[in-house]
Amino acid sequence: MPNEIKWDLLHEQAKIAMKNAYVPYSKFPVGVSALVNDGRIVSGCNVENASYGIGLCAECGLISNLAMTGGGRLVAVVCVDGNGDFLSPCGRCRQLLFEHGGNELLMMTPDGPQPMSFLLPWAFGPANLE
């Protein structure tokens, strides 16, 4: 795992991902990027659908990218809105991120990095199914 998290790089990668969002209905683009424990950076953007309920959040794309490129554990995540400002994931996406990063996963917030245990207290995960 890298010794230092390059938050500025993750922020830039999230903004690049956000520019690829498909948002013809909400006009609310979201981008996300994450550092993986092997040093890779994975990204995702939101993809809407005319059937609103089946749109995909940016974090869904990020987790798909993670799995497709070899898996691993997420270490740090930055999520941004259309202005490049830090954005908090919805509850569903916090659960997706928790599954692949656990309580120690750091999420950038306007107040600085916060662990997933702060953003999703008492999380339910794979260990609960053993």
pTM over 0.85: yes
59 is catalytic: yes
pLDDT single digits (tens) 79-105? 999 999 999 999 999 999 999 999 999
pLDDT at site 124: 86
Instruction: Give yes or no for residue 130 having a pLDDT over 60.
Output: yes
For position 34, which CATH number holds? 3.40.140.10
Establish if 2 belongs to a structural domain. Answer: no
Catalytic residue among 4, 12, 48, 59: 59
User: Total domain count for the chain?
Assistant: 1
Pick 124 or 59 by higher pLDDT: 59
Name the residue range of residue 105's domain.
7-119
pLDDT single digits (tens) 24-52? 999 999 999 999 999 999 999 999 999 99
Establish if 104 belongs to a structural domain. Answer: yes
Matching residue, tokens 């609103």: 52
Eight-state DSSP code of residue 120: S
Establish if 129 belongs to a structural domain. Answer: no
